[in-house]
Amino acid sequence: MPVRTRVAVIGAGPAGLLLSHLLDRCGIESVVIDSRTREQIETTIRAGILEQGTVEVLAETGASDRVLTAGQKHEGIELRFGGEGHRIDFTDTVGRAVWLYPQHEVLKDLVAARLAAGQDLRFGVTAERVEDAGTDRPRVLARDAEGYAIEIEADVVVGADGSRSVAREAVTGAYGGYFREYPFAWFGILCEAPPSAGELIYGNSPDGFALISQRSPDVQRMYFQCDPDTDTEAYDEGQLWEMLQARVPGTTLHEGPIFQRDVLRFRSFVAHEMRRGRVVLVGDAAHTVPPTGAKGMNLAVADVVLLTDALRALLLDRDETLFDSFAETARQRIWKAQHFSWWMTSLLHVQPGASDFDRMRQLGELRTVVESRAGSTYLAEAYTGWPLPGTGHH
């Protein structure tokens, strides 16, 4: 017997869980499946920065009360190059801010809210295929942890299943998308130490990029630019601190035991299509950005806010206008975020094989950004996030 629902959501990440939450508030029922366990979802360390609009959506819709109390408001960042720090002041330039609140905390809040609301949320259920995209009864064929087949039949299927999306094939067919790879990656660490600064530090140095980020008063997240093939065990702790410290000259990092290491590959991707018939892609299933601009999760939230309006019109008012224009509207923000993520990346990283000219030009660009109000304002506007539809600011 197939499971029947209005919206079948593949993926219990920020996009899938927030979508089911927002749909529920409009009275639209959904089923959410994810191949991972609840514990895996709630403990995997991912992004850390929420745009102001993301925070407003989470707080105003009751998806997370904790973001405003446990999250930390950041009113600027530091760009550090040539041995000196330069602050980009978000409040002064655009009157907006970002919040430091780890993605897995967002997920804990969302899972708790969905379960409390009686949401049909199934962990350990792996989607294998999406069928009948061209009909008004698309289906998800899945398998539970014991290997039993599950079929979900819905009015709309949403692929919120991340960069290795299973739903994507039903939408884009063999065509895939726009793709760019970068010749470097980030070596990331988590350590037990107090913050090294009040705000995040984005560092450019002849040795490469480093980012001094945070997770909590006693856990810090830091990254430095590395070769994509670097082994996580290639360096001992002393070497890691030396590499980090050398990339933010002029500051002194607070060191502490390193308890997690990972290498993050850099990719830019946008699927050629975000919708085919009644199957839609959101978040990383539809697009991937390099992490430099902290846009990934925020872009997923923007997709979902837009899709909620489209689904409400389609499913409650039988009005297809917003559903038909969803992909085109989403695409405009996605490409702005793609550009910003690419730009922040090229502004701050050292390209392998860069010439002396390239290096001097990059310092000129950095100086242009920090010394020009227009330059700083562009960075602040993009970093804090462009307005979302229907969240009250213009």
User: Annotated catalytic sites, by residue?
Assistant: 74, 202, 291, 295, 383
Looking at residue 101, the DSSP 8-state letter turns out to be -
Q: Which stretch binds ligand PHB (CB under 6 A): 160-168, 253-261, 285-293, 332-340?
A: 285-293
What's the closest the beta carbon of residue 74 comes to ligand PHB, in angstroms? 10
What's the closest the beta carbon of residue 360 comes to ligand PHB, in angstroms? 25
Interface with ligand PHB, residue 71, by CB under 6 A: no
**Pick 44 or 135: Cβ nearer ligand PHB:** 44
DSSP, collapsed to helix, strand or coil, labels residue 221 as strand
In sequence order, the 6+-apart residues with CB closer than 8 A to the CB of 349 are: 182, 184, 204, 208, 209, 225, 292
CA 13/CA 110 separation, integer angstroms: 9
**Pick 205 or 345: Cβ nearer ligand PHB:** 345
Interface with ligand PHB, residue 107, by CB under 6 A: no
CA 170/CA 204 separation, integer angstroms: 42
**182 in Cβ contact with 232 (< 8 Å):** no
The one-letter code for the residue type at 359 is R
DSSP, collapsed to helix, strand or coil, labels residue 278 as coil
Query: Residue 127 forms beta bridges with which residues?
Result: 142
Q: Which listed residue (13, 291, 308, 315) binds ligand PHB by CB under 6 A?
A: 291
Distances (CA, A) of 333 to 134, 267, 294, 388: 26, 18, 14, 10
Q: Which stretch binds ligand PHB (CB under 6 A): 234-242, 287-295, 308-316, 323-331?
A: 287-295
Interface with ligand PHB, residue 47, by CB under 6 A: yes
**Pick 103 or 205: Cβ nearer ligand PHB:** 103
Q: Which listed residue (48, 76, 162, 195) binds ligand PHB by CB under 6 A?
A: 48
Interface with ligand PHB, residue 11, by CB under 6 A: no
Q: Which listed residue (281, 294, 302, 380) binds ligand PHB by CB under 6 A?
A: 294
What's the closest the beta carbon of residue 294 comes to ligand PHB, in angstroms? 4
**Pick 138 or 283: Cβ nearer ligand PHB:** 283
CA 275/CA 254 separation, integer angstroms: 47
What's the closest the beta carbon of residue 291 comes to ligand PHB, in angstroms? 4
CA 370/CA 379 separation, integer angstroms: 9
207 to 246, contacts with ligand PHB by CB under 6 A?
211, 213, 221
What's the closest the beta carbon of residue 190 comes to ligand PHB, in angstroms? 10
**Pick 200 or 306: Cβ nearer ligand PHB:** 200
The torsion of the CA quartet 272, 277, 278, 279, rounded to 10 degrees, works out to -30
Write the burial class of residue 11 (CB in 10 Å: 0-12 exposed, 13-18 middle, 19+ buried): buried
Interface with ligand PHB, residue 349, by CB under 6 A: no
Interface with ligand PHB, residue 292, by CB under 6 A: yes
Query: In the chain, what are the helix, strand and coil shares in percent, each to the nearest 5?
Result: 40, 30, 35
**75 in Cβ contact with 358 (< 8 Å):** no
Contact footprint for ligand PHB (CB under 6 A): 47-49, 200, 211, 213, 221, 291-294
